[in-house]
Structures are given as structure tokens and as C-alpha cells.
Structure 1
Amino acid sequence: MTTYGLLITGSGPAGVSAAEAYADAGGPGPVALLTADPHAPYERPPLSKNALTSPGDVEPTPITEATLPDGVDVRLGATVTAVDLGARTVQVGGETLTFERLVVATGSTPLPLPGAEEDAEIHALRSLQDGRDLARAAQHARTALVIGSGFIGCEAAASLARSGLDVTLVTPEDAPQQERLGSYAAQQISSWLADLGVDVRTGVEVTSVHAPRTVHLSDGHTLAPDLVLAALGIAPQGDLLGDAGALTYEGRVVADEHLQAAPGVWVAGDIARGLHAIAGRALAVEHWGDALAMGAVAGRNAAVGDDGEQERWEEVPGFWSTIGEHTLQYAAWGDGYDREEVVGRVGGFTIWYADAADTLVGVLTYNADADYERGRRLIAAGAGIAEAMRGDDIPELRGGRKTCNLC
């Protein structure tokens, strides 16, 4: 039986980043990466953007921000069915693998659409195969329905419209992304979608879907599009580790500020509910760049082991989203805000978000890159919204206020 110095489950950005960081930190081998995906590691963000507007088959884009080191045993189509933390083993089909250290980065799966018949033709968008299936369906469709106004839904609706389809987007929100980003940003996103011809129907839910694609809405309307995409969010896949004895919360594995969930075990990406060292509370993040950052922390900590000096998870969560030709950048703790302030920029805008104490907790920018970078520093430093509005930066805040660990 082979004993691995490190086993990684999951081939997304968190898993690949963990492998690279582990090797760079001199972690002992051998190393194996296990993934249920039949394809070599690839980027998922293009699947809701240019992949839907390009002719021909969807080709995978290698993960460019991190690379798998030479010598990593990559096992594709390998589904982990059980983990034994006491014995330090994982079960893959009929094979038992032993590990000294384990990084779990198994990600998440799309939420199913409630009320849909089992044989209804409903697309999801998470994997390369999902992207290929959706793109092929789009090539033979004239009309499309996107259910959900999260970033995947908005990006996909814009991309499908740009490829020539007549697209309708339905959402229970009063405007796309209003609950997360506020009314101003929601209005901007709505206008961008409308400019592309997307029919945005707000305050509407899907009550049922009859096969193959007859969709009944809560406002009494019935639609029969050629293509249906459900973009309702994700379900993190942390239950397997929970069954092995790790603490979980709503499908995520609870971890400390080093992203350690148990002796010799670290988690990263969608499945992690980690204690953020700067925020001072547990956070769950679901974005590509955050998975890369968390994977790097987990990989480096696995390399030094339980008795080594562990690195803290400190990076302010953030991501970007491209809707049509418009790219938004967002950084925030991600657990709400009490106040928003909009500042116009030439050809763009910045929105500052604060809590009840007027402490800065988020920033959203459009064509204002400098504000985004400055905002991340201010959030990490615990600055107030007044400093952000005045244009202050970290050097002006160091007199007595917590300094920025990211600078």
C-alpha cells in the first residue's frame, strides 16, 4: 500500500494551488491529487463567458495562476467514497490510499431546481462537461431562459444574448444582485443586460418545470424556451469529511485561521468555513481567486506539518465578474453591510460598503482599479468609510490603527 506525503482531493484552483505551494515549501512526497472530474485541471470562469460566445466545441483553459508540480500523481475520474482520519486513509473505489497529510478541496455542486420533473431538460454550469453541453444546446437554440440572478446567471445570460439568442432571466430579487450589492449596482447590471436584449423579470420564481422545457412562473406566465439554465447557487461538498468526524456547518468544514480542520488535515475553497485572521470571524467564500489563495495557505501549512509554524489565512476575499463587456471588481468580508456610498468615476463608479459602526467592509468598482486595490488595503486595515470617501490610503492610517497585513 502506497503512503503519500500529501493527498489532495479536488482539482479546482484550491487543489492545484495547494499542490504548488506544498512543493515550493519543500513538503515531503510523494503527492497525489484525486479528482472525480475526468478532465485535467482547468479554469471554470470562462465557461460562463467567452466559452458561450465562441463557435465550435468548448476547449479547457489550463489553470494559469498555479501549476501542478512535476511528479504529482494525478488521478482523474477518482471519486473518494470514504475518509478515515484515525487511520489516515481514503477510499477510492475499491482501493485504499494512506496519507500523512491531507488537503480537502472538493468544491461544490450546483443547486438543483425545485419543482422540476426528473426528465426535464435543465442545464447547470459548473464543470467543463456542463459548459460543453450548454454551448452545444445554445448552437441549436433561438430562445433561452436563465433562472437566477447571481453572477453566473448574469454572466451566462449576457453571453447567450451576445451569441444571438433571445434570452429571458427570471429572479426573485427586485433587481439582479440587489441583495448582495445594493440598488445602485443592481440598476447598472440590469441596464447592461437590457442593452444586450435580455428580458429581466424580477420578483418572479419558477414554480414548476414540465418535461421537456415548459416552465411555469409564480406570476402566472408559462415559458417554453429552447434552452433552460438553472443558476441558483451551490451546495458545498464537505459532508464526506464531516462523516469522518470533522466539524461541519451547512455543508462546509469548519477550520481554524490556518485552515486546519483536524490533525494533519487542511481545507480550502468552497467547502471551507475558515476563521479569517483579519476579519476575526468565520467566513465562507466561493470565488476563484479566494480558492487559489486558500489553497496556497493550506499547501504551505501542510508542508510544515502540525508542529511547524503555520501561516494564517489573511487575504481579503475578492473577485471579478464580466457581464457582457462590463467587468466589476468586488472585495468584501461577504457577510453583509449596513450602508453604501456611491462615488462616480470617469466612465465608471465605486461603491463603498460599511457596517453599523461605519467601518469599511466592502468595495465594488467598475473602471476604477485604483479604488479596488486601495479598498482591499483599507478593509484589511479596519478603516472607516469616511477615510475611503476622502481618498485616504494605508500609510495615512497607521497612527494607532491596525496595520495592513497585506501590504
Structure 2
Amino acid sequence: MVAPGFVVVGSGPAGLTAAETFRARHPKIPVRVIASDPAMPYAKPPLSKAYLCGRNSKLDLHSAAWFTKHDIQLHRGITVEHIDLEGREVITAGGRRHPYWHLVLACGAAPVPLSVPGGDAALPLRSFADAVVLRMAAKNSDSAVVIGGGLIGCEAASCLAALGVATTLVAPESVPVQRRFGSEVGERVAKMLSNSGVRFIGGTRVTAVSDTEVALDTGTTVPADLVVSATGVRPDARLAAAAGLDTAHGRVVVDERMHTSAPNVYAAGDMALAYNVTAQHRVPSEHWHDATEQGRIAGLAAAGCPAAWSAVPEFSCVIGEHTMTYRGWGSGYEASSIEEDCDGFTVTYRCGDEIVGVLRVS
């Protein structure tokens, strides 16, 4: 029989940091990480940056030797089918049971499917396997269409263009990143993309995908040997919801210690809607830095150490030669102002007199 211990579902930054943090404080309690991804744990931000662009990038988070050294069991390519809160067990495919004293859910998010005829042929960019397929496909493509004007779409499009692929970015918004950063920033990002060799078509939706082209709702088509779907992600809270944990807006509701509505169960990363003590309200987050911090807090809380999420969320994006760094709550704003300087520009977002976000582009 498997001994109970500290169990993590998910091998991303939240899950691994939780396991590492807990192990540092409890060297004898069994620690297990169960991951559906068959690959060794890797960093995702470089996938749409250096890796896709063909540059060397460090992807590995920890080696197999690291897991052995720290006595952390890593189960890869395993699907969790059910969480038994009453019995305090995680049940994986085949009916194997993993009893827990403490459980951290770090299931991340899943790509939003492209729901148009032929949409299944579009390649996502969410996992290492996705990035490998996409990079190989780019080598045999003369033209590409990236669907989605968010951060990942912009990064992927600029990388494909840098590889010599004639790349078009298509989005329903009139300019890229409009919903997140506003029209004025979006116009500047469109210029960055153009300078990187990317053609941008805004204010239109894709209606169909074929082997040779992408059809738009304007009645026109865009040639495409390669199609990339960057239509966003959706938090993966299915296991938690099925188990009966409290959820809201598709995420698991947790407090500032990442504790869910069930005893000894925590959630962190994309799937969590966590209370931030600095913001004084719950804040959704979908970025690597925040997932790492939330995983650290979950590990500390499970280990019986004082911890609370207070950091301001932040992330960065690379488009061609430009780096965009944002720090803030990302929950909307009422007004924004841009300040130019010799190295780029800074945008300050406000609600009333309160600064709710700052974007730096250089």
C-alpha cells in the first residue's frame, strides 16, 4: 500500500515549487508529483520566445537526478481521474490510489479550441510537445497564420517571421493586445510586429482553416502552410469542481494561503482564484512568476509555516527586439497615460487616483 504524504497534481512551476518548498521543511514525509505531461518538467515561457525562434534556451526545471536527490517521486504521463476528499485520496488511471495528508492542485490551464471548420488542424503552443511540432513545421513552411492577438500570439508570430516564414497575425480586435493594454499600446505593438516582418489583420474572425489557407469573415483568404492557434487558455479546474471544491469564474477559490474549501487541500497557479493581501481582493493570474510564488506559499502553508500571497503579479513578453514588462493587477482600468523616453515608453494604468498597473516597453 502507498504511504500517505504530500501529493501534488501538476508539474508546472506552482506544483514543483510547492513540492520543493514542502520537502525542504519535512525531509522524511513522502512527496509525490503526479503529472499528465510525459516530459520532464520544463519552463513554458521560453517556448514562444527563444525556443520557437531556434535559439538555445534552458527549458529543464529539474533533472531526474534532482528528484532522486530530494527524494521526490515524479509520476509522468499519468492522468488523475478523481479526487476523493472524504477518503483523502487521489485516484489515477487504472484505479491506483495515492493517499495524502496534504494535497496541492496545480493543474494549470488548457488551450481554448479553435471552433471553426478545419480548426483541429491549427497547432497550439502550450506544451513542449506543441513547441517541438511547431518548430519542425516552420522549417517546411513558406507561409503561416497565427490566430489570436494576445501576448502568445504576438510572440509566436514574431518568432516565425524571424525564421523566414511569411507570417500573418489575425485577431478580432482592431489592434493586438487591445483588451489587456488598450488601443494606443496596441497600435505600437502592431508597429513592432510590422518591423519584425509580421503582417497584422485586425477586426476580423477566422471562419475556416484548410491545408493551404485561412478563410476570414470578410470573405478573403490568407495563404498558410502552417496555422497556429493562439486563442487563449482556460483554467483547468475540472478535477476540483468534480470533487466539490468551491469554484468561481472557472477557477478554484482559495485564501491568501492557497487553501481551498476542503481541509489540507491547496490550489495554485492558473487554476486558482487567490486572495491577495496587498490588493485586498481575489486576483486571477495566468503567469509563470505568480504561479511559482503561489506554489511556494502553498508548500509553506502545508508545512505549517506562516505565508500569505502579497506580491503584485508581473510578467514579460518579447516581440522582435522589444521586451514588454507588466506589473499590476490586470483587472481593468479607467484611464492610462504614456510617458516616452529614449529607450522606449512606460504606460501607467489607473482606477481613480490608484495606480493599478504599469507597463514598460523597451
**1:212, CA displacement in angstroms?**
3.0
The aligned amino acid for 2:9 is: T
SS across alignment from 1:266: strand
- 8 Å contact 2:145–2:214 — kept in the other structure? no
**1:158, CA displacement in angstroms?**
0.2
Could you list the runs of 5+ residues in structure 1 that have no partner in the other structure?
368-407
Q: Report the TM-score when normalising by structure 1.
A: 0.84
Could you list the runs of 5+ residues in structure 2 that have no partner in the other structure?
none
Distance 1:59 1:345, change over 3 A: closer
The residue number in structure 2 matching 1:252 is 251
The residue number in structure 2 matching 1:292 is 292
The 5-angstrom pairing of residues 237-248 of structure 1 reads: 237-248=236-247
**1:26, CA displacement in angstroms?**
3.1
- 8 Å contact 1:109–1:234 — kept in the other structure? yes
The aligned amino acid for 2:340 is: G
The residue number in structure 2 matching 1:51 is 51
The residue number in structure 1 matching 2:353 is 358
Moved more, 43-52 or 145-154: 43-52
SS across alignment from 1:290: helix
The residue number in structure 1 matching 2:105 is 104
Partner Cα distance (1:125, 1:213) in 2: 20
Partner Cα distance (1:27, 1:222) in 2: 59
Partner Cα distance (1:226, 1:249) in 2: 40
Q: Report the TM-score when normalising by structure 2.
A: 0.94
Identity among equivalent positions (%) equals 38
The residue number in structure 2 matching 1:189 is 189
Partner Cα distance (1:46, 1:116) in 2: 30
Partner Cα distance (2:270, 2:344) in 1: 31
**1:276, CA displacement in angstroms?**
1.4
Distance 1:28 1:245, change over 3 A: farther
1:62 and 2:57 matched: no
The residue number in structure 2 matching 1:330 is 326
The aligned amino acid for 2:90 is: V
- Deviation track 1:325-348 (CA, whole Å, cap 9, x = no partner) reads 211110111110001111112211
1:280 and 2:280 matched: yes
SS across alignment from 1:235: strand
SS across alignment from 2:189: helix
Partner Cα distance (2:156, 2:299) in 1: 32
The residue number in structure 2 matching 1:204 is 204
- Deviation track 1:292-332 (CA, whole Å, cap 9, x = no partner) reads 1111011111111xxxx542111100101111121111011
SS across alignment from 2:121: coil
Partner Cα distance (1:353, 1:363) in 2: 6
Partner Cα distance (2:49, 2:266) in 1: 32
Q: How many pairs were matched up?
A: 356
The aligned amino acid for 2:284 is: A
Distance 1:132 1:187, change over 3 A: same
**1:59, CA displacement in angstroms?**
7.9
CA-based RMSD = 1.7
**1:184, CA displacement in angstroms?**
2.7
The residue number in structure 2 matching 1:135 is 135
Partner Cα distance (2:163, 2:214) in 1: 23
The aligned amino acid for 1:322 is: V
Distance 1:352 1:273, change over 3 A: same
The residue number in structure 2 matching 1:400 is none
**1:102, CA displacement in angstroms?**
0.2
**1:140, CA displacement in angstroms?**
0.1
SS across alignment from 2:330: coil
**1:352, CA displacement in angstroms?**
0.7
The residue number in structure 1 matching 2:20 is 20
The residue number in structure 2 matching 1:385 is none
The residue number in structure 2 matching 1:395 is none
Partner Cα distance (2:281, 2:108) in 1: 21
**1:28, CA displacement in angstroms?**
5.4
- Deviation track 1:6-60 (CA, whole Å, cap 9, x = no partner) reads 00010011111111111223375100000011111001111111212217xx987
The 5-angstrom pairing of residues 336-375 of structure 1 reads: 336-355=332-351, 357-367=352-362
SS across alignment from 1:180: helix
1:157 and 2:157 matched: yes
SS across alignment from 1:134: helix
